[in-house]
């Protein structure tokens, strides 16, 4: 139901339930969690790409049949399960690129938003349609969507439940780029290859500074940035990078 492939130093994780449009059951979330643990803890992996199998859906949402049988307490545990994984993705020290290859609805949109940035196929559709079936977003959608597109647009999408296409998603800043379906994975690998040659420690500290600075006053956010600027100066990657620049050669980073 979930596959993990490593190409050089790039890990590609895919939800593999094309007949169910890659819907998120509890089992799928647990398997995804295992794959992310494996990729994050593998010292050879520099970048992670998250996608879905097939050309129809990234993740079409949660498993509605499974949810329909949940008690309120079970539903809360399911929400927390998904939230913990989206936090793991968001806080991964290794960049996670969302390759959105079709429908990204409900939980699918929420998992896409947890990625550090998103490239989408030209047939992708996004939305948080939970209110149409008497639910609310439960994997972080009420929080991450407003951070990405602003409170007004987030309210419109969350309260109407309407779907938007890739062009509109790009316009409002939900995604970074639109790519033809058959070129999507290669385009994600291309940017991953650019990222993986940079300092792993500098990347990790940049992600930390961005995430910790969210929703803080600028004065506090700048203190957070300065903290990580100091930390990066304690790394051998910093020494290697500056020396390589001065010596006009390509740096060899060790991630230390």
Could you list the active site residues? Answer: 110, 130
Q: In what order do the strands lie in the sheet with 103-105?
A: 57-59, 103-105, 125-127, 163-165
Total Cβ atoms within 10 A of residue 16: 14
Report the distance separating Cα 39 and Cα 47, nearest Å: 9
CA distance 15 to 7: 17
The Cα-based distances of 50 to 99, 199, 212, 225, 240 in angstroms read 6, 22, 23, 28, 31
The burial class, CB within 10 Å (0-12 / 13-18 / 19+), for 238 is: middle
């Amino acid at each position: 139901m979930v596959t993990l492939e490593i190409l050089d130093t790039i890990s590609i994780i895919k939800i593999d339930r094309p007949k169910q449009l890659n819907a998120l059951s509890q089992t799928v979330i647990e398997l995804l969690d295992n794959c992310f643990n494996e990729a994050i803890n593998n010292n050879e992996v520099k970048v992670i790409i998250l996608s879905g199998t097939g050309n129809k859906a990234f993740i079409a949402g949660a498993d509605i049949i499974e949810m329909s049988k949940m008690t309120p307490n079970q539903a809360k545990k399911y929400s927390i399960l998904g939230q913990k994984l989206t936090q793991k993705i968001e806080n991964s020290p290794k960049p996670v690129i969302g390759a959105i290859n079709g429908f990204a609805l409900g939980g699918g949109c929420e998992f896409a938003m947890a990625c550090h940035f998103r490239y989408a196929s030209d047939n992708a559709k996004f939305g948080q349609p939970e209110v149409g079936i008497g639910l609310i977003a439960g994997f972080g959608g009420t929080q991450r969507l407003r951070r990405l597109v602003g409170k007004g647009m987030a309210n419109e999408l969350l309260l109407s439940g309407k779907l938007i296409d890739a062009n509109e998603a790009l316009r409002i800043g939900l995604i970074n780029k639109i790519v033809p379906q058959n070129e999507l994975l290669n385009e994600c690998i291309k940017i991953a290859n650019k990222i993986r040659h940079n300092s792993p420690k500098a990347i990790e500290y940049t992600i930390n500074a961005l995430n910790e600075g969210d929703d803080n006053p600028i004065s506090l956010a700048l203190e957070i940035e300065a903290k990580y600027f100091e930390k990066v100066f304690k790394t051998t990657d910093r020494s290697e990078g500056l020396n390589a620049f001065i010596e006009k050669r390509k740096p060899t980073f060790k991630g230390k």
